[in-house]
Structure 1
Amino acid sequence: MTDENTTRIGGDLVVETLRSLGADTVFGLPGQHALGLFDALRRTPGLRLLGARVENNLAFAADGHARARLHADPHGPVPVTPMIVSTGPGALLTLSSLQESRAASVPVLGISSQIPAAGLGGGRHGYLHELPDQQASVAGVVKSVHQARTASQIPGAVRDAWVSAATAPYGPAWVEIPQDVLQAPVTLPPITAVPVRRDELAPLPDLLDEAVRLLSGARNPVLLAGGGVVRAGATAELTVLAEALRAPVLSTFGGKGSFPWEHPLSGREWLEDWHSTEFLAAADVLLVLGSGLGELSSNYHRLAPRGRVIQVEADAGKLESNHAGLGIHGDVRAVLTALGDRVPAREPDGRPETAAAELVERVHRRLDGQGLDLERTLLADVRAALPEGTPSFWDMTVLGYWAWSAWDSGGAPIHTAQGSGGLGYGLPGALGAAAATGGPVLAVSGDGGAMYGIAELATAVQHELDVTWLIIDDGGYGILREYLTGAFGRTHATELARPDFAALARSFGVPSIVSTVDTVGADLAAALRAPGPRVVVLSATLRMFAATGPAEEDPR
């Protein structure tokens, strides 16, 4: 790791441990207290360091990197992505992004420096970047917090945090190490092997028996696939069970891609539509897989199941937290495998396929009457522009809300920030994914969200990352404009001054084009074919669809 004339320091122990755990990429932004980490990275072959201009974007990039690797190999070792930042302001700036990783169960490992050990535990005060309790600041966001106060504690703390991030439910973990410990010479031998063991989250047999009994006796079973199905790489197992039960499958927004879009049993993902809400509620057995049935997945808590609910979750805290039922704490893939092996296969009679098709038709008929041709055509054009297998990363913009429901993610995996709903995810998430896959990757933002990450165009250029960024400029926070107008009849504080995005991109050395709704599909396709970063700007004001309510339910 270092030559014979170089003194190894605490930072080397961190980097050696990461390499031994399987890391090959680290996202990092230097700071005064973290210098020992970055000097160790400089001297370490085989570890790629990717930077960012702002720490929250660095954390979003780490999130995008981990998601892309999870999607590429869902059955391999869990691809924890390390991120290194400095004390105080640097650490705090990552928290809004790590909230997304926590909500979406993304395995990110945050490593931060800390003030010198003499300032901890009631010692000296007044250090630069000092927080009263940095661990407490982080603890409410991440899965677990670990600390090392001596060199000998470093390998174990990093390993424990890595295992925490990679254990279902996945999520961000955090390690902090004082500045002086990171920079002090060490006598420990180089770390070359870090054995880890992750126990499978096996479901209880008695609960599986009851789930088999309920599903076997159901007359109208329906499956709801959440993000846990995607994270567990359980899409094939989901299809096996659905086809055995002859059960329609709907997906949450986080569960997009868990079930084939065009499958005869697919009810798709219009969960903000009352037709879908009622379809789920009418099931005599509703099997919820890898979802906590939170606000978005339950149509803002309007879902009221009339039959039995079976909920499978790796996060025990979500079991029955919103709906009573049979809660099974376990890995979704293991549960689906067991159910698929044990639930008797039914003879097809065409009824569930007809029910799923009628649900999709009712949703489309509603949309047909709302004058939304622009939005539907634009989303279809963006989807058609993507080469096979190209992932996309979406900010909280109006077209992104459309994509939650209307995007066919088969062959074009989609990642959104709807876990926690923060702005600015699109570009940095896509940059992290491009670092993992080599690109191309599509990012989509509105003009409001774009300003959160505009500095990362410099990162895209510096690291030659193959990302095409579509910026939809409607002059403000478009979705908030709709919310305010809908709630109060007028809007306020949503209209924004903004730059000439195309000219600004060119100032970074990024080729850009101002597109139109008629040419955006071709412009995106051309940009995605070209290597390196590209920006496509589209001026358009889009509307959200209006979902039906209970009084408007179509009896057909």
Structure 2
Amino acid sequence: MSTPFTGADLVARALAQMGVRHVFGIVSIHNMPLFDAINRLGETRIVDVRHEQAGTHAADGYARATGRMGVMIASTGPGTSNCVTGLYEAQYASSRVLLITGQAETAFYGKGMGYVHEAEAQVAMLRSVCRRVESPRHVDQLAGSLAAVVADIHAGRGAPGAIEIPIDLQYAETAETDFHPPRGPALAPDGQALERAVDRLGSSRRRVIVAGGGVVAADAAEALTHLAERLDAPVLTTNGGRGAMADDHPLCLGNYYTSAGMHQAIADADLTLAVGTRFAVGVDGQGARLKPPGELIQVDVDAGMLGRVHAADLAIAADARLALEGLLESLVDVPPNDAQFNETVREAGEGVHAAMRRRLGTDYPRIMDAMRGRLPRDGLFVRDQTIAAYNFGNQLFPIFQPRTTMNPVSGAIGPGLPLAVGAAVATGRQTLVMHGDGGFMFHATELATCAQYQLPLVIVVFNDGGYGVLRWLQDTRFGRINETDLGTVDFAALAESMGVPGVRVGSVEAFEEALDVGMAAPGPYLIDVDMTRLAPMEISIMPKRRGPA
């Protein structure tokens, strides 16, 4: 007797046919059929996380590290509400994440009869953080609903999407359906707009390029590098665009577009080519005041982003790779940039870099160099929102390849570890995550996930006993500090309790020794850095100093 093909089987088969190799999830009474069907089919591996928010962040990290869709499976109600912060971050990062969740039986859905975990407003909640949400009410609608969400996730600028599947539809018999990889044709640039861009680029002599996350998302790093070389134009990246050009390329100025010194140096540019960036305004709207110099040519796959922050003289709605390749094809025998302009910009970049490095004091530059020197060129570098990230992780730490770096784009604290979990699962490559102690406690239980799957992950917790960034902000704005001290946590012992080797260090030499051990370890390893015992870096305010070790 053959086993009936159910709604859950349809989802499992769809994931396999769309090339989904891993999903993250927590099993529940409202998604058990999905887990069972995926495991019976055997084409997609389930990674069991400890919290739904962490699982959604992990799906996000998976998507950013690979360019493929990340998938989280949760339960209805409380399980889905736990996913909202992860979807919020994925939405902010334009990340392709699919949430599959359950729902009450269709016969009881919306009746207010106290069905366990019923969430009548779940669709509305999900629509606040997803571009498309579907809620099929009959098993015959399931295939179409799933296909519609996945197609939207991959349309234009990436975005998360969600589908809720009532539990009776997961068990219901249905016809077998074939699914296909969802990517359609990329958005090609308008020919006339491209011609105008070619004319303006060809007649300019002080050109700069600003590369954003859209370059990475479109796999356009190679085209960007070739175009910069053709134009002899220096390249600034945004935080999301790091890796779009290798930081050791002579034309790459790094993630310093928002630096006052760099902005002053490029003020004489006669043209800015901005590709795949929305010019996020950031804290206090600072970015809105940093107008790109000269004429602005802006390329973005999302037409709604063109000219939103800064008026564009020429706006081109297009996939970054197709636009850059189109420019390369037409720009022949272009005169190089003005040599004096390029030299001025290069010297300014070196000056900004040196000034930022001086802010780190005597110990942290050595710690940063140790991490970069031991992490392979294609290793993944993940950072949470923490003083170490602000002071050197976001800008000074060299990045050489696309999709090898990520951070919480929304400014949230805590996503670092689960983002790194997703990246390590996706690639199997050495991954290093940099955390503060405050943010690390949001998802410290995912250490158990790291141990269970023996992920190649080194976790560095910069421990100052609280929210160090907020201490500095409070001291700067109010002249006093409150509610930021969190006490002392022995993260090495915590890690050991969950099966992850760990060590606490208080000197650069001890850190280097621990990092060597962690990089050689077959699985995860945690280094708890006691910041009170290191020479301080700027904006770092310590709690009351501890006694001798």
Q: What's the TM-score, normalizing by structure 1?
A: 0.90
Which residue of 1 is the match for residue 301 of structure 2? 314
Which residue of 1 is the match for residue 62 of structure 2? 65
Residue 19 of structure 1 pairs with residue 1 of structure 2: no
Matched position secondary structure for 1:321? coil
Deviates more, 1:133-142 or 1:198-207: 198-207
Residue 107 of structure 1 pairs with residue 96 of structure 2: yes
User: Match for 1:462: what amino acid?
Assistant: Q
Residue 392 of structure 1 pairs with residue 381 of structure 2: yes
Which residue of 1 is the match for residue 270 of structure 2? 284
Counterparts in 2 of 1:197 and 1:379: CA distance versus 1, 3 Å: closer
> Given the alignment, which residue of 227, 230, 242 partners 1:241?
227
Counterparts in 2 of 1:281 and 1:116: CA distance versus 1, 3 Å: farther
User: Match for 1:214: what amino acid?
Assistant: R
> Given the alignment, which residue of 496, 511, 534 partners 1:520?
511
Which residue of 1 is the match for residue 29 of structure 2? 32
Deviation of 1:538 after TM superposition, in Å, equals 0.6
Deviation of 1:247 after TM superposition, in Å, equals 1.2
Which residue of 1 is the match for residue 544 of structure 2? none
Partner deviation per Cα, 1:499-541 (whole Å, 9 max, x = no partner) = 2111111111211111232332332132111101111111115
Deviates more, 1:530-539 or 1:459-468: 459-468
State how far apart, in whole Å, the 1-side matches of 2:403 and 2:107 are. 48
User: Match for 1:36: what amino acid?
Assistant: P
Matched position secondary structure for 1:341? helix
Which residue of 1 is the match for residue 543 of structure 2? none
Partner deviation per Cα, 1:409-467 (whole Å, 9 max, x = no partner) = 11696433341111112211111122122232111111001101110111111222221
State how far apart, in whole Å, the 2-side matches of 1:260 and 1:511 are. 33
User: Match for 1:538: what amino acid?
Assistant: V
Counterparts in 2 of 1:135 and 1:282: CA distance versus 1, 3 Å: farther
Matched position secondary structure for 1:43? helix
Matched position secondary structure for 2:455? coil
Which residue of 2 is the match for residue 496 of structure 1? 486
* Coordinate RMSD, CA, aligned: 2.2
Deviation of 1:171 after TM superposition, in Å, equals 2.0
Matched position secondary structure for 1:118? coil
**Alpha carbons 1:114, 1:176 under 8 Å: kept:** yes
Counterparts in 2 of 1:49 and 1:377: CA distance versus 1, 3 Å: same
Counterparts in 2 of 1:279 and 1:163: CA distance versus 1, 3 Å: farther
> Given the alignment, which residue of 146, 153, 160 partners 2:141?
153
Partner deviation per Cα, 1:171-229 (whole Å, 9 max, x = no partner) = 21111111111122x1413x344364613211222221222222122231110011111
Identical residues among aligned pairs (%):
35
Which residue of 2 is the match for residue 173 of structure 1? 161
**Alpha carbons 1:245, 1:346 under 8 Å: kept:** yes
Matched position secondary structure for 1:49? strand
Which residue of 1 is the match for residue 257 of structure 2? 271
> Given the alignment, which residue of 107, 115, 122 partners 1:127?
115
Partner deviation per Cα, 1:113-142 (whole Å, 9 max, x = no partner) = 11221244x535322222332111011212
> Given the alignment, which residue of 79, 95, 105 partners 1:90?
79
State how far apart, in whole Å, the 2-side matches of 1:124 and 1:447 are. 42
Aligned positions of 1:404-415 closer than 5 A: 404-410=394-400, 414-415=404-405
Counterparts in 2 of 1:213 and 1:51: CA distance versus 1, 3 Å: same
Counterparts in 2 of 1:365 and 1:461: CA distance versus 1, 3 Å: closer
**Alpha carbons 2:408, 2:415 under 8 Å: kept:** no
Which residue of 1 is the match for residue 325 of structure 2? 337
Deviation of 1:232 after TM superposition, in Å, equals 1.0
Counterparts in 2 of 1:544 and 1:316: CA distance versus 1, 3 Å: farther
State how far apart, in whole Å, the 1-side matches of 2:324 and 2:153 are. 23
Aligned positions of 1:360-509 closer than 5 A: 360-367=349-356, 370=359, 372-401=361-390, 402-410=392-400, 414-509=404-499
**Alpha carbons 2:202, 2:335 under 8 Å: kept:** no
Which residue of 2 is the match for residue 203 of structure 1? 189
State how far apart, in whole Å, the 2-side matches of 1:543 and 1:143 are. 41
Deviation of 1:368 after TM superposition, in Å, equals 6.4
Matched position secondary structure for 1:177? strand
Which residue of 1 is the match for residue 546 of structure 2? none
State how far apart, in whole Å, the 1-side matches of 2:181 and 2:339 are. 51
Equivalenced residue count is: 532
Deviation of 1:36 after TM superposition, in Å, equals 1.9
Deviation of 1:338 after TM superposition, in Å, equals 0.8
Deviates more, 1:329-338 or 1:532-541: 532-541
Q: What's the TM-score, normalizing by structure 2?
A: 0.91
Matched position secondary structure for 1:476? coil
State how far apart, in whole Å, the 2-side matches of 1:61 and 1:368 are. 31
**Alpha carbons 1:390, 1:411 under 8 Å: kept:** no
Matched position secondary structure for 2:461? strand
Which residue of 2 is the match for residue 118 of structure 1? 107
User: Match for 1:238: what amino acid?
Assistant: L
Unaligned 5+ segments in structure 1 are 71-78, 547-556
State how far apart, in whole Å, the 2-side matches of 1:545 and 1:252 are. 22
Which residue of 1 is the match for residue 545 of structure 2? none
> Given the alignment, which residue of 523, 536, 540 partners 1:532?
523
**Alpha carbons 1:367, 1:545 under 8 Å: kept:** no
> Given the alignment, which residue of 335, 340, 347 partners 1:358?
347
**Alpha carbons 1:388, 1:412 under 8 Å: kept:** no
Which residue of 1 is the match for residue 44 of structure 2? 47
User: Match for 1:38: what amino acid?
Assistant: F
Which residue of 2 is the match for residue 183 of structure 1? 171
Partner deviation per Cα, 1:463-486 (whole Å, 9 max, x = no partner) = 222211111101111111112212
Unaligned 5+ segments in structure 2 are 541-549
State how far apart, in whole Å, the 1-side matches of 2:421 and 2:360 are. 35
State how far apart, in whole Å, the 1-side matches of 2:354 and 2:36 are. 61
Counterparts in 2 of 1:230 and 1:194: CA distance versus 1, 3 Å: closer
Deviation of 1:381 after TM superposition, in Å, equals 2.0
**Alpha carbons 1:226, 1:289 under 8 Å: kept:** yes
**Alpha carbons 1:149, 1:178 under 8 Å: kept:** yes
**Alpha carbons 2:276, 2:320 under 8 Å: kept:** yes
Partner deviation per Cα, 1:477-498 (whole Å, 9 max, x = no partner) = 1111112212112221111124
Matched position secondary structure for 2:72? strand
